[in-house]
């Protein structure tokens, strides 16, 4: 089983700026989201016997979220560069609406993999496939992964055996945990955070 979650809301999320490998701190709302998700993860972990690992992207927003999960579960945080967000090259820091035309437009339209200097879709997929191959096979797998919006979507697609871009129009909520088990992905939502 894998429990996959996205970091809490950041200042750049609120400002609709493309983060990629750049970083901005969690907002107060993002810290509340991280606490809520950590509580949900602790509950899900308590239901499953076995040794769990907590692995986070090394980017600050993911590590800050992982700290809440570590406090709720008693696990030690490991970091792995393969869980980092896609490198958006020259587009990092740009206003999202400049890239897609209007708020709420699907990620696919942004074509972030085509940005000058960006990491390619194939590179993202390869590093995530490599990461998944290092985990124990099911049913012995027990990992909590803290990642990012695009990376988490691609990881879910790989797990389900779908083309990576099949998930790009799916959401990547800050207030949800995706359980990856037996080839299926099930979403658990936290209580709404105001």
| CA 24/CA 10 separation, integer angstroms | 6
Q: Is 115 left (phi over 0), alpha (psi -120 to 50) or beta?
A: beta
> Tokens in use for 182?
């037996």
Task: For tokens 């993911």, name the residue.
Answer: 62
* Residue 121 annotated among the catalytic residues of the structure: no
Residues 6 or more apart whose Cβ sits within 8 Å of residue 74:
none
Active-site hit among 7, 121, 148, 178 = 7
CA angle 23, 25, 26 (to 5 degrees): 125
Active-site hit among 85, 92, 119, 175 = 85
- Let me know how many helices (H) and strands (E) the chain has, helices first: 7, 6
**Rg, C-alpha atoms of the chain:** 16
* Residue 7 annotated among the catalytic residues of the structure: yes
Phi, psi at residue 72, to the nearest 5°? Answer: -80, -25
Q: Exposed, middle or buried: residue 178 (CB in 10 Å: 0-12, 13-18, 19+)?
A: buried
> Among all residues, which ones are annotated catalytic?
7, 85
């Amino acid at each position: 089983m894998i429990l996959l979650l996205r970091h809490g809301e950041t200042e750049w999320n609120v400002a609709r700026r493309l983060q990629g490998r750049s970083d901005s701190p969690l907002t107060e709302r993002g810290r509340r989201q991280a606490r809520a998700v950590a509580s949900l993860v602790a509950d899900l972990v308590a239901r499953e016997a076995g040794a769990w690992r907590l692995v986070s992207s090394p980017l600050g927003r993911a590590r800050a979220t992982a700290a809440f999960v570590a406090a709720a579960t008693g696990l030690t945080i490991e970091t792995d560069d393969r869980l980092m967000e896609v490198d958006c090259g020259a587009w990092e820091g740009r206003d999202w609406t400049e890239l897609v035309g209007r708020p709420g437009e699907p990620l696919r339209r942004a074509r972030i993999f085509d940005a000058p200097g960006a990491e390619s879709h194939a590179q993202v997929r390869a590093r995530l496939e490599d990461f998944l191959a290092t985990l124990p096979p099911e049913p012995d797998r027990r990992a909590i992964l803290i990642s990012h919006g695009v990376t988490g979507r691609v990881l879910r697609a790989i797990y389900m055996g779908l083309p990576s871009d099949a998930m790009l129009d799916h959401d990547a909520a800050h207030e949800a945990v995706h359980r990856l088990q037996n080839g299926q992905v099930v979403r658990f939502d936290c209580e709404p955070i105001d």
